[in-house]
Structure 1
């Protein structure tokens, strides 16, 4: 009978001496890219949250302006009460339709990304029927 002797070598002995720190170096090179990617996702989530908040404030302003005599003043009051500070508010009431548009400038709020990502201008527009 033939006799075969199997030996299992540990993984550390299989790698040559030149490859022992390769995983550490690859991790050190990939980690900054991973951190930047996670920060970009976080910044995207912040901008999406601000856009939703702008739509909500604009909707509330349009609802209040649709029952007010002065829609511009009503929209500004709602924006102030909400704590949201849009850069521009335009409210009109004509032909039975109240329209409110708001613009908001969102600045990059995460460190290290500020110089690379410009501030964004968010806009929301809502139209509602004017109530008597």
Structure 2
């Protein structure tokens, strides 16, 4: 092995490893946001089902929190539309997904997710 190429692999690893670590953390952060997005849609569906029977904000909010397992202080639920039997009621759920993965979280920032479901009041 020539003297000039000694330690070359160590230098290459030192240059490439930080990039690979940041990319792995970015993939992890995207996965966290994707899971939160699915949970927000699930919370909206469950809140709409509960609001179809009892069209009150407290019922919808409780169902959204109980169904998804999201942080209650980051979750908001709103109702719009008629609340009489046969009317269409729209439930909107908003959630702020915190980016808590090291390094990448500071670059990306918190993400606001929302989902809306329209359902007929029973």
Give the TM-score of the pair, scaled to structure 1: 0.79
Higher relative contact order (CA 8 A, sep 6+): 2
Greater percentage in helix: 2
Alignment deviations for residues 53-85 of structure 1 (CA, whole Å, 9 cap, x no partner): 1110110000110111x3322211213433432
Runs (5+) with no aligned partner, structure 2:
none
Cα root mean square deviation, aligned: 1.7
Q: Is the 8 A contact 2:29 2:105 kept in 1?
A: no
Runs of 4+ aligned structure 1 residues displaced above 3 Å come to: none
Counterpart of 1:123 (choices 110, 114, 118) is 114
- The residue number in structure 1 matching 2:4 is 18
Alignment deviations for residues 75-129 of structure 1 (CA, whole Å, 9 cap, x no partner): 1121343343243211134262121001111111112223222111011111122
Counterpart of 2:63 (choices 78, 82, 101) is 78
Runs (5+) with no aligned partner, structure 1:
1-11
Alignment deviations for residues 34-62 of structure 1 (CA, whole Å, 9 cap, x no partner): 00000000000000001101110110000
Give the TM-score of the pair, scaled to structure 2: 0.85
Residue 46 of structure 2 corresponds to residue 55 of structure 1: no
Number of residue pairs aligned between Structure 1 and Structure 2: 116
